[in-house]
Every structure is written in structure tokens, then in C-alpha cells.
Amino acid sequence: MADILAPGELRPEQRRRSKRIKLRVAVVVRSQEKRTLSEKTHTLMINAHGALLLLAMPVSVDKFVVLENPGIGQELLCRVTHVGTHFMGKAQVGVEFIKPAPEFWGIHPRPEDWDPSRASGRGQARTKKLSAVPVPQDTK
């Protein structure tokens, strides 16, 4: 039988930086290549650090694209992190913002871990726990 680990016990590379929300948001994606391509599409999942979206435009991992949210009139530079298999001319593409931007999606209320003041909250919690450990003093 497999062991089930609590979220705090997962290795850092297995943790999510912010909660995912399944939400369809209309977006426009523009390539950063010599010949700029543009595509209207929508998200499948969003979080404070990026999104998973459907895209017909050819992209590759580590390339940059501009993601525009016409609903709030904002655009951000993103890095492609994942390109899934193509189905019916489109692929699921993961993009991450250069820096967290929870306000980009225009949703309220937002999950607690999307709050920018809690940036890397897990690391802060870990630091607080470590600093709470009494340090032996020299008693000469």
C-alpha cells in the first residue's frame, strides 16, 4: 500500500506555488518571434503564477509569449513551461508569469495563497518554525 504524504511533507518540486482554479477566461496570446502571431483562446486552469490554456499557435518550452486579459485590459509577459500533445489542432499549454500576478485574472475573492503579501508563505512558515527553536547560549 502506498504512503500518503501531507502537503507539507512533499518535496519542494512537488508543491504548487498557488492554488489552481478551474476557470474559463478569454485571453489573447501573442508570440514574441520575428513574425508576431496572435490567437484568441481561453484558459482551462488559472493560478497566481500562470495558467493552462488551449493553443493552436506553435510554441515551445522556455519561449516567451504575451498573455492579454481583455476583460481587465491588462497584459503580461509569460514563459511557456509545458506543451501537451496536440488534439484537433490545439495543445494544452502551460504558461507562467515572470512574477506572481493574482490580480491579472480579475477574480474576487481570491484563494488565500494568492495574496502577494504571503509570497512564498511556506518558506516563511518554515523560517518562523526554525527561529522558534531555542538556541543554546554559552554560560561561561
Q: Looking at the domain assignment, is residue 59 inside a domain?
A: yes
CATH number of the domain that residue 102 is part of: 2.40.10.220
Q: Looking at the domain assignment, is residue 9 inside a domain?
A: no
pTM equals: 0.69
Q: What are phi and psi of 50, to 5 degrees?
A: 160, -150
Q: Looking at the domain assignment, is residue 91 inside a domain?
A: yes
Q: Looking at the domain assignment, is residue 80 inside a domain?
A: yes
Measure the CA–CA gap between 66 and 97, rounded to whole angstroms.
10
**pLDDT of amino acid 19:** 74
Q: Looking at the domain assignment, is residue 83 inside a domain?
A: yes
Q: Looking at the domain assignment, is residue 98 inside a domain?
A: yes
Q: Looking at the domain assignment, is residue 24 inside a domain?
A: yes
Q: What are phi and psi of 69, to 5 degrees?
A: -105, 95
Q: Looking at the domain assignment, is residue 2 inside a domain?
A: no
Query: How would you class 92 by CB atoms within 10 Å of its CB: exposed for 0-12, middle for 13-18, buried for 19 or more?
Result: middle
The total number of structural domains that make up the chain: 1
The tens-digit pLDDT sequence of the chain (140 residues) is 444 445 555 444 445 567 778 889 999 999 988 788 999 999 999 998 999 999 999 999 999 999 999 999 999 999 999 999 888 999 999 999 999 888 998 887 876 767 766 544 444 433 333 334 444 555 55
Residue 111 DSSP symbol:
P
The CB density around residue 130, as the number of other CB atoms within 10 Å, is 8
Helix (H) or strand (E) holding 99, with range, is: none
The owner of cell 518554525 is 129
Looking at the chain, how many residues does it have? 140
Structural domain containing residue 47? 17-115
